[in-house]
Structure 1
Amino acid sequence: MGSHQDSTRDDSPHTLPTPATAAGREGLDALLADPGRAVVALDFDGTLAPIVPDPDRARAHPGAVPALAALAPKVASIAVITGRPAEVAVRHGGFADAPGLDHLVVLGHYGAERWDAATRTLTTPEPHPGVAAVRAELPGLLDRSGAGPGTWTEDKGHAVAVHTRRAPAPQAALDALRAPLTDLAARHGLIVEPGRLVLELRPPGMDKGAALRSHVHGLGAGSVLFAGDDLGDLPAFAAVDALRAEGTPGLLVCSGSDEVTELRKRADVEVAGPAGVVGLLAALAHRLP
């Protein structure tokens, strides 16, 4: 894949950016040519919703639901793929009562949970037993870690996340916690997934790439777009690469962030954060019949 080029960045109303790579241009062309077989997949935090110090206060960009509602009837599916519980993403996204979202699904906990807008139903499995064990041991570990004040945990039900964004030295706190949290996770059959000033302890085999591939294959989709902003979105980027190799065109979109550069290097298009993602969705909806 080619590296990011500034010329790909264009958030003008109803203007679609030109992807920087041939594979990205093929993906966009396939989506425009046959939208009824296209999957548009999106991360939530940092992609549809701005990053905020307290994740409980995260809300979708004000233009997100209108753009999704305009686009959803024109494509096979819109999938919000998130590490959050599905019902939290539905609530924070404002999806539950929004009209026009019948083709939207929320794949929570990296695909372990599924909420369908068409039926307003949620399906969820039992949590991995290691999550409860980790949840019980975390307070003592954090007290002993020396990570300092401002470090706190987020209980996601099927996973537990440790945030350092509020700490006086956020990156130093994250670095201090990496080894002890990795050891704790391993003892209980979990893995550690790093993100933007967060370390998440969750069961193996749960990632956005597996969720995306399953959703695309289940629909027999003819093209796929994925937009993300963080390290946890790299498996979905890899899944799009694999789908391309199998003959399904794809477009990779980075919701720009100064904290994470890996996605920029692999993306076909970069937009200016959630506002840029909303602009891209609105431009697609405007372009499609």
Structure 2
Amino acid sequence: MALRWSRWSPQLALVPAIAVTLVAFVGGIIWTVYLSLTRSRRIPEYTIDWSDWFRQYDRLFRDDAWAISLQNLIILGIGSALAIVFGFVLAAMIDRERRGESFFRTVFLYPLAISLIVTGAAWRWIFNPEYGVEPFLHSLGLTWVNASWLSSGETAMWAIILASVWQSSGFYMALMLAGLKSINSEIWSAARLDGVSLWKLYTQIIIPMMKFTFVTCAILLSLGVIKAYDVVVAMTNGGPGQSTYVPAFFTIQAMTGRGNLGFASAAAVMMLVITAIVFLPLVLLTAWQQRRSARIAK
């Protein structure tokens, strides 16, 4: 009896987690998809007009703010990828300079301890034309500098990207540093003996060996970009105008600002579709690379 109980106890321990997942996650997705087919506004309606069931999605695709959100999502994704680049550069520098490694690792990881709301508020102050970095640079004689990025729709998104990269580079540095530490030290020694240049060492040997680390960073980055909301609210609140709208902000605004639950649900469903389009290929690529590496090892 004791043996039988020890065999089933792990499965029983997973029952609450599975139940919560099914109810909160899967159930929430089904409920959101269902509401996106209704005419729900502030109060949910559960009657679907099958003659016009695509109504909310048709409104969504015709909305200029949603088009701006998708465009900004692409810009934010491309710009935020710099965090992975900077993270790798920082990790490579720390890995080569052993002295002070703990100190610099802590310094670069410190922004990660700050919430995105605080990060956005701090960078909003930095870009303030009266109290931020611009009047300080003007006092030094650099009167040609214009740091009022948040006041222009053409530059506000780049200010958000800069704040996001500053906040997340330390996290990717930690992941990259762990990947560099896992590389056999004999590879470094053999490269030095063969006279391989530092550039070729990293581009032709180290980076290909860290492909799983880069894919992991890309997965985490894509999920963070798609759900980006806090930093936008803290820095611009979607402005100027609608120039810094992103899908997550658009969805919340559709619910709280417009009071349209069905319309917001349609936007949320499209966010799920975007997540699947971006996330699933990266996961499948990782699984394929792992199987390929296992076959090569055999």
Q: Decide which structure has greater helix share.
A: 2
Question: Which structure has the larger Rg?
Answer: 2
**TM-score under structure 2 length normalisation:** 0.27
**TM-score under structure 1 length normalisation:** 0.27
